[in-house]
Amino acid sequence: MATDHQTPASKQQQPSTVAFKIVIYEQENFQGRCHELTGPCPDLREFGVEKVGSILVQSGPWVGYEQSSCKGEQFVFEKGEYPRWDSWTNSRRSDTVSSFRPIKVVRTSDRRAGVKEG
């Protein structure tokens, strides 16, 4: 699920009741059009996003992928601000994120925690 906004980053930092929420900005430093995700997004281009300039994770951990369909190099995003591509990777090979999905922590019956993407 995604929505478009033109709201400044300062207004985006309000507490949320959504379990997973990430805001993708098309320009660095939380500028330009933004798109909210509350669930998996296999291809940002479906929402007209050609480039990810900055990211604001409001809730839940997320994994971003270099390629669409959740393929390629992976980037883990925890709650916080990522104003430029080099704040989420030090890779000189890739500055692109094309798909996202939340990371869910699941509890098993013997109280161990596990991680599940999706």
Position 11 scores a pLDDT of 44
Mean pLDDT of all residues in 48-68:
95
Backbone angles phi, psi at 117, to 5 degrees: -85, 145
- Number of independent structural domains in the chain: 1
Q: With contact defined as beta carbons under 8 Å apart, do 66 and 94 qualify?
A: yes
Q: Which has the minimum average pLDDT: 29-33, 99-103, 105-109, 113-117?
A: 113-117
Helix (H/G/I), strand (E/B), else coil: 12: helix
pLDDT by residue (tens digit) across 73-84? 999 999 999 999
Q: Report d(CA 41, CA 57) in Å as an integer.
A: 15
Position 10 scores a pLDDT of 46
> Can you name the residues that pair with 73 across neighbouring β-strands?
none
Tell me, rounded to whole angstroms, the distance of Cα 50 from its chain centroid: 15
CATH of the domain at 47: 2.60.20.10
Position 90 scores a pLDDT of 74
Strand order in the sheet with 71-77: 71-77, 62-67, 99-107, 113-117
The larger pLDDT score, comparing residue 118 to residue 46, is at 46
Sign of CA dihedral 45, 98, 55, 12: positive
User: What Rg value do the Cα atoms of the chain yield, rounded?
Assistant: 14
Position 117 scores a pLDDT of 56
Q: Quick one: pLDDT band at residue 60, thresholds 50, 70, 90?
A: very high
pLDDT by residue (tens digit) across 32-47? 999 999 999 999 999 8
Question: Mean pLDDT across the chain, nearest whole number?
Answer: 83
Q: What percent of the chain has pLDDT over 70?
A: 71
Containing structural domain, residue 36: 2-88+95-117
